[in-house]
Amino acid sequence: MSCGEPHETDCSEVLDHLYEFLDREMPDSDCTKFEVHFEECSPCLEKYGLEQAVKKLVKRCCGHDDVPSDLRAKVMGRIDLIRSGEIVADTELPGIVHE
């Protein structure tokens, strides 16, 4: 997605790191760059708003359930492997049934 206009921070960079922005898992300087981008780019602002709404809905509907410790460990292990580059995000996690 891109609005077709040039920006200091490219739309693809913003969308690739949108969840890091939503979760405040990036440096403040990067958050500021993203905020400036959202002021300039309505398609990215719309995508941000949609993802923010989904995140709030999931938290409201599922945020009170306890997660089994083995599932949490598997998910966190998968995240670590993806971040380290050892596996790609779309590979299956052993031991989890996919429907």
* Look-up of token digits 């989890």: 96
Provide the 3-class DSSP secondary structure of residue 33: helix
Convert the pLDDT of each residue in 24-58 to its tens digit: 999 999 999 999 999 999 999 999 999 999 988 88
Of the candidate ranges 12-16, 19-23, 51-55, 59-63, the one whose mean pLDDT is the lowest: 59-63
Report d(CA 26, CA 85) in Å as an integer. 19
Report d(CA 21, CA 25) in Å as an integer. 6
Report d(CA 18, CA 97) in Å as an integer. 28
Residue 13 has pLDDT above 70, yes or no: yes
Q: Mean pLDDT over all residues of the chain?
A: 83
**Which among 98, 97, 3 has a CA at the least distance from the CA of 42?**
3
Provide the 3-class DSSP secondary structure of residue 45: helix
pTM of the model: 0.59
